[in-house]
Amino acid sequence: MKKHLLLVVLAFTFANLYSQDAKTAEECFKKADYKCAEEQYAKLAEKEQIQKYQSEYYNNLGTSQRRLGKTSLALKSYEAALRANPMSAPVYANLASVNSQKGNKQKALEYIDKGLQIDAENVDMYLTRSKIYDSQGKKELAIKDLNQILSFAPENIFARTGLANLKKNNGDLDGALKDYNQLISEKPESLLYNGRAEVYLKMKKQKEALTDINKAISIDPKFAQSYVTKSLILFDGAKPKEACVNLEKAVALGYEKAILADHFAKCPPAK
């Protein structure tokens, strides 16, 4: 009886410690301390025996590594997550995204096709595929995927901004501006001010672009993309030092530095 009780106590103790480790990992991630999150999720994934949870830990590990710019390691972590749970739609979405980022568009599309068989209403996969189609010049397919999202999530802000961005990318700046004006009137969010700032930048309206991007940052100072957009506006305004400060802020908030390599190349050498 005493031996049985001891085993129960030990099991309860280990469960509490394990729960605390998971909580620590989540807190690190929320605070954008991705190095800490990487270390914690790596430990959790190695120790976990239940495959479903192990897959989730590997998936979170991969995302932490991506935020640190460790794209190749992230890919391996996502692949480990898929081996642990081949029925996880979020893992397929991340594998598609990271392969697209690394330039392997065909592999990304294959992961999306498989993932959508598991979850036909996965927003992330449709968004990634839409971006791939847009990069391949398949505008109609890109629009179709965004409209597919709106068919089951009509208020999805990413799909709606995606449609505005397609107009921007294809030269319809007035149409994109009209869409963003409408979106901002409905819901003045950081993402939307950032998007409109990008449109103003393309229209060579730097004053309006800077006003919008500063508004985006004031609403959400932790939205990394806004600092990237601000850096582009500052580069355009011949302020490279200020632009590079904003690039560093974006990286500190989790933006992958490898993606910004071309922008960092414009930075003046450190003294």
Average pLDDT over residues 170-191: 95
pLDDT at 202: 96
pLDDT at 11: 44
The model's pLDDT over 128-137, given as tens digits with 9 standing for 90+, comes to: 999 999 999 9
Q: Which residues contact 188 (CB under 8 A, 6 or more apart)?
A: 219
The model's pLDDT over 71-109, given as tens digits with 9 standing for 90+, comes to: 899 999 999 999 999 999 999 999 999 999 889 999 999
The per-residue pLDDT of the chain, averaged, comes to: 91
Residue 8 has pLDDT above 90, yes or no: no
Q: What is the pTM of this model?
A: 0.80
Distances 173 to 85, 163, 180, 200, 201 between C-alpha atoms, Å? 43, 12, 10, 8, 10
What tokens were used for 79? 């692949």
Residue 13 has pLDDT above 70, yes or no: no
Average pLDDT over residues 29-36: 88
Q: Is the dihedral of CA 225, 231, 237, 242 positive or negative?
A: positive
One-letter amino acid for residue 71 of the chain: T
Q: How distant is the alpha carbon of residue 125 from its chain centre?
A: 12
The model's pLDDT over 197-213, given as tens digits with 9 standing for 90+, comes to: 999 999 999 999 999 99
The model's pLDDT over 109-164, given as tens digits with 9 standing for 90+, comes to: 999 999 999 999 999 999 999 999 999 999 999 999 999 999 999 999 999 999 99
b/e string for 174-206 if b means 16 or more Cβ within 10 A?
ebbbebbeebbeeeebbbbbbbbbbbbbeeebe
Average pLDDT over residues 29-55: 93
pLDDT at 271: 63
| 66 vs 32, residue with greater confidence | 66
